[in-house]
A and B are shown apart, each in its own frame.
Chain A
Amino acid sequence: MSVVVADHLSKWYGQVIGLNDVSLTVPAGITGLLGPNGAGKSTFMKLMTGQLKPSKGRITVLGEPVWENPSAYFNIGFCPEQDKFYERMTGREWVIALVGLNGVSESAAKEMAARSIETVGLSDVADKKIGAYSKGMRQRIKLAQALAHDPQLLILDEPLSGMDPLVRRKTIRMIKEWGRAGKSIIVSSHILHEIESMTSNILLINQGRILAEGNVHQIRDLIDEHPHTVFIRADQTRRLAREFLTDDQVLSMKFEDGGVVVQTGRPDVFYARLTELAASGELGAIHEVTSPDDNLQAVFQYLVKS
């Protein structure tokens, strides 16, 4: 069964092309949408969630057109990329209010919100104002609102962005569990390592076009030839850097903006080690792990040329 079918789908913003003549079928299960920033991932997701009207072509989600079809949202949960909230609400109030828009009773909304908040591990801070949440908590409360009404399809736009390694690992596990439980999930990222840890079914997107789809081991090998850059900010950044000095997979390191920028040839090994260190707690808290997409951009440029 296909969850999303796009047929010559295009979206223009004036003279700028957001998505260019995309025809594809997304199967049930977990699918990763991988591409550098500005590739068209968010545009595609906005078209999938009916926030944008296609300039040309058509798209159906779960067998229904989604533009101007609000009933489609009973079966879709969307976690947007932007870090925007009604800051004065508590996490619980926010999720209850949003799930209430699905037409459920107040008591049912409370129950659904409590369940989804528990699923994302925020029960202990659910009654704090969202404005006081860390970046990772804000990401998780967005996930909670997306899954509160138990949708058939979850569309997650960069859901791991800004999460610390432990929460990232937990969230990846959670997404895989939802997939095993029968939900279909489309998850976007500009980091192959993240996507690969959730699924091998990948859509590669760049400059508004789908470059490849399916199980892309060759792409993986290609990407591995390009060093992967990671920025880490932690309580004890210098001690953390020392831990990685002796590792073969670390190619270079430099300190900037209160953190350390590491280049690695083996991102999977590097992230596993980083998660171990975070779990041990030896080096205090790791506050931020982000990856610029320079390496991925280089790979896409190579792909487009070849």
Chain B
Amino acid sequence: MNAKPGVLSSAIRVFDFSLGQMLWSRRSVFLALLVGAPMAIAFAIRMVAATRGLPVINGAGLSGPTLFGILIWLLFVRFVVPVLGVFYGTSLIADEVDDKTITYLFTRPVPRSAVLIGKYLSYLACVVMLVLPSVVVVYFLIVPIGGHIGEAFPSLAADLGMLIVGLASYGAVFALVGAWLKRPLIIGLVFAFGWENTVLVIPGEPSAVDAVRALQDQFIGAVGASAWNGVAAVRLCASDGAALRHDLIHVMTALRGSLPRIWTN
């Protein structure tokens, strides 16, 4: 009789098998475009800053590190990370089931739990490879606007760490959704863009009603200084002048309704 295959060694084999598939899928091309958007925005800001000087909001100049923090918080933490988590995480198992290719994995000496773990690890490697370079490019484009790359570097490292934790957490939640439920993408989108935004405006301790918000609370403890600066800058602007605050509410609501949470903190 053959020995029972181990979960970890099997998961590594599934990881090997899945990573190439995931990296070169059509989904990855689309998501590469998604993480390219912050780079394009950063490039545009850099061009404007080169011709008109430091950006000014409500009479106050924003430094490069602060702008970088705003982009990290609004674009990456509140938008790119959940979108990647939903689109990739829910598809990990569901796509194999829909395509009927799961048969090939389930008729090999690999425990089913190892299939999920291996595919989750390949998701994590894939999204980290997509997101982190984008963040670094944004950093090098934005921080030199009135800031010093060297000084802000520790904060970049912390932000990168925070994003990895975010990608891992969202991916884990949505991988389970994809493995257990039918129509996981719809459920994931409703959860990430409906439920989470709804919960954000509920006062009081959120952990009891929203696991992902509880995770976000943990991220804030680990967030890099630049992202904190970004949050603080948004708060400052929003509390200073009703018209600007009104505009910011619209802008930030469009960027997945992050303002209510920031404002009420």
Contacts and interface: CB of A to CB of B under 8 A. Distances in A.
A2 interface: no
Nearest to A157: B103
A82 B13 contact: no
A103 B109 contact: yes
B100 interface: yes
Interface stretch (B1-9, B127-135, B221-229): B1-9
B24 interface: yes
Contact of A71 (B4, B14, B101): B4
Interface residues of A, number: 27
Contacts of A75: 2
B109 A74 contact: yes
A16 interface: no
Interface residues of B, number: 26
A109 B143 CA distance: 49
A102 interface: yes
Given A82-B100, A86-B21, A100-B16, A49 B4 contact: no
A50 interface: yes
A78 B103 contact: yes
A273 to B, nearest CB: 36
B104 interface: yes
Given A73-B108, A76-B107, A100 B4 contact: no
A301 interface: no
A97 B3 CA distance: 21
B99 interface: yes
A69 to B, nearest CB: 8
Interface in A49-90: 49-51, 64, 68, 70-76, 78, 80, 82, 84-86, 88-89
Classify the secondary structure of A's interface with B: loop
A167 interface: no
Contact of B99 (A68, A70, A84): A84
A80 B3 CA distance: 25
Nearest to B26: A88
Contacts of A84: 99-101, 103
The winner among B3, B21, B106, B112 for most chain A CB atoms within 10 A is B106
B104 A70 contact: no
Interface in A102-116: 102-103
A86 B103 CA distance: 12
B55 interface: no
Given A71-B1, A100-B16, A85 B101 contact: yes
A145 interface: yes
A70 B14 CA distance: 14
A101 B105 contact: yes
B110 interface: yes
A100 B112 CA distance: 16
B17 A100 contact: yes
B146 interface: no
A98 interface: yes
B109 A102 contact: yes
B104 A98 contact: yes
Nearest to A97: B17
A71 B109 CA distance: 5
B95 to A, nearest CB: 11
Nearest to B2: A74
Contacts of B1: 64, 71
Interface of B: 1-5, 9-10, 13-14, 16-17, 21, 24, 99-101, 103-112
Closest 7 pairs between A and B when the two form their complex, measured CB to CB? A101-B108, A74-B2, A84-B100, A73-B109, A78-B107, A82-B100, A70-B109
10 contacts: A70-B5, A73-B107, A73-B110, A80-B107, A84-B99, A97-B16, A100-B16, A101-B108, A103-B5, A103-B109
